[in-house]
Chains A and B, each alone.
Chain A
Amino acid sequence: METLELTQEEQFQARIDADMRIEPKDWMPDAYRKTLIRQISQHAHSELVGMLPEGNWITRAPSLKRKSILLSKVQDEAGHGLYLYSAAETLGASRDQMLADLHSGKAKYSSIFNYPTLSWADMGTVGWLVDGAAILNQVPLCRTSYGPYARAMVRVCKEESFHQRQGFEIMQTLCEGAPEQKAMAQEALNRWWWPTLMMFGPKDADSPNTEQSMKWRIKRFTNDELRQKFVDMMVPQAEFLGLTVPDPNLKWNEAKNGYDFGEVDWEEFWNVVKGNGMCNKDRLGARVKAHEEGAWVREAALAHAAKRKQRAEQEAVQQVA
């Protein structure tokens, strides 16, 4: 028994090391399954909650074109939520249970969505920086070891890069516009810069799950590696826009061929994770409200489907008789 179990585990790891995909019917260690369910459902919840900060500006978008781009972006995020919930379901998780965990606070979602969207420039900054950070986190997941997750991420990443370009374009329009538009863009960057750096998670030294996840190829880069990549990618873009990154310690380091940058406010980071961000209560509250107020709709749909099925069966019986 013992040897057989070990063999399975060894075979499993060998497949991963050979960059082969694990599929739903394949044997997998319990911890791998649990880690994936946690990660995928957390990602799905982030898509769902992530609709709220941008949804906040749909009715106030400044032009019909921007309104339609924003609405279809937020709709894409709902689509991402659907693919990801489906991917988690292939591991045996149910959508109802995942949602219950979100609503009870047991499951987490990305902390970035606990920050408020206060001006139209936030629609630019969120697309540019938040979708940008999401892409860096997620592109490696297109090659992650679990097949359904990797395939969902391929679709998601395509749309996220589209979102990022649209966000950048909003910023560019603001920065090339009137002084008050440029000021709006700078003010938004000032608020979002540090929270987006937090999107890559705690420092590697404080990230206990990283090593195991790297071994399983659920993760392919460490948090600090991705954060560095992000800074190196975004600083030139901010310069192109004529915006100032709000970090006095930001400096090009020739030796490491990357930027040195200041320390993230980890106290703020852990506070938002613990529920003390400005919008934690509002975001979760909005999701719980939508779910509770939708209960009668879901019940009606089920009751109607059951009635239809019953009628179809009765008709079939009558036809035979």
Chain B
Amino acid sequence: MQVTPSETVSLAKYTPEVRQQLFRYVLQLADTSLILGHRLSEWCGHGPILEQDLAMANIALDLLGETRSLYQYAAELEGQGRTEDDLAFLRLATEYQNPLLVEQPNGDFADTVVRQFLFDNFHYHFLQQLQTSPDERLAAIAEKAWKEAAYHLKWSSEWMIRLGDGTEESRQRVEKALANLWRYSGELTTPTATEQALQSLNLIPDYAALLPAMQAHVAKVFEEATLPVPAETYMQKGGKAGRHTEHLGYILAELQYMQRTYPGLKW
């Protein structure tokens, strides 16, 4: 099946194979927003400034909203009667497909800002293109989330600049965070086999085509932040294939606690 961007399709028209691939992919997107939202929500009540506590909770809420729409769609694609909560809470660690970046710990505020900036820069440019997907559900989810991602990218870009071009201490902290987290940025735009299959059907954006705009935004923000763009480095990957860092297990221990302790109940 070859889909040209001018037609829209809905799930009824997919072959079982494409439907399975799309299910896998939508889960990956949902897992990504879920885990990053989870991390950001850990800041709630502990932020460096009350206004930033609010801002981080806001971003977490946006991501959680996106998460729910995605899991709901994934559940429909799967068609096995599982719900958004079954998918979010009742899978094994190896079944979560979020990229490694988003499960990294909050660290200090600089770590959180750098993690957010690297993610937002991808998320924003990715969603911009996903809006034109012929898959009408994905396009609709992207349209809403893209507007929110624009605000997220503005927030994290401004903080990159403030911290980079702030005090000596803030600059050192942001450089240290970059030295640690940059190596997780490559996975965002490195397609898995599933992603490649969907890209060849034109159902999802080609990541290589996003790179120029992403790099331009990094260059602009880093210049204002008076930060050097990190040199090319070995890029870690594995999360999108279910091979995670040690951090994910602890996230799931909290996330799944209630659903695992009280199986099958309604909350």
Contacts and interface: CB of A to CB of B under 8 A. Distances in A.
Which of B41, B161, B259 is packed against the most chain A CB atoms within 10 Å? B41
Given A60-B255, A71-B44, A78-B54, A303 B49 contact: no
Given A75-B54, A290-B47, A297-B109, A178 B163 contact: no
B144 to A, nearest CB: 15
A74 B48 contact: no
B223 interface: no
Interface stretch (B64-72, B212-220, B241-249): B64-72
A178 B50 CA distance: 39
A289 B43 CA distance: 12
Interface stretch (A50-58, A220-228, A263-271): A50-58
B109 A294 contact: yes
B167 A300 contact: yes
B250 to A, nearest CB: 10
Given A64-B84, A177-B266, A297-B48, A74 B57 contact: yes
Contacts of A71: 41, 44, 57, 60-61, 64
A178 B46 CA distance: 35
Nearest to B57: A75
Interface residues of A, number: 46
A93 to B, nearest CB: 15
A78 B53 contact: yes
Interface string A41-62: 0000000100110010011111
Contacts, number: 135
Contacts of A64: 64, 67-68, 71, 84-85, 88
Nearest to B266: A177
B258 interface: yes
A173 B267 CA distance: 6
Given A59-B254, A71-B60, A303 B262 contact: no
Contacts of B254: 59-60
A172 to B, nearest CB: 11
Nearest to A308: B165
Contact of B267 (A120, A293, A304, A307): A120
Nearest to A174: B267
Nearest to B170: A300
Contacts of B79: none
Interface string A251-295: 000000000000000000000000000000000001001100111
B50 A304 contact: no
Residue with the greatest number of chain A CB neighbours at <10 A, chosen from B47, B166, B255: B166
Contacts of B265: 62, 177-178, 180-181
B85 A290 contact: no
Residue among B47, B53, B67, B162 with most chain A CB within 10 A: B53
Contacts of B166: 299-301, 303-304
A270 B123 CA distance: 52
A78 B61 CA distance: 14
Contacts of B258: 60-62, 120
Contacts of A297: 48-49, 52, 109, 163, 170
A142 B41 CA distance: 31
Nearest to A296: B169
A48 B44 contact: no
Contacts of A294: 47-49, 109
A207 interface: no
Contacts of A304: 161-162, 165-166
A60 B257 contact: yes
A299 B49 CA distance: 11
15 contacts: A55-B45, A60-B257, A64-B84, A68-B61, A78-B54, A120-B267, A289-B46, A293-B109, A294-B48, A297-B49, A297-B163, A299-B169, A301-B49, A303-B166, A304-B166
The 6 A-B residue pairs whose C-beta atoms are closest, nearest first, are A294-B48, A300-B166, A300-B170, A62-B258, A51-B45, A297-B48
Interface of A: 48, 51-52, 55, 58-68, 71-72, 74-75, 78-79, 81-82, 85, 120, 170, 173, 177-178, 180-181, 286, 289-290, 293-301, 303-304, 307
Interface of B: 38, 41-42, 44-54, 57-58, 60-61, 64-65, 67-68, 71, 84-85, 88-89, 108-109, 161-163, 165-167, 169-170, 173, 251, 254-255, 257-259, 262, 265-267
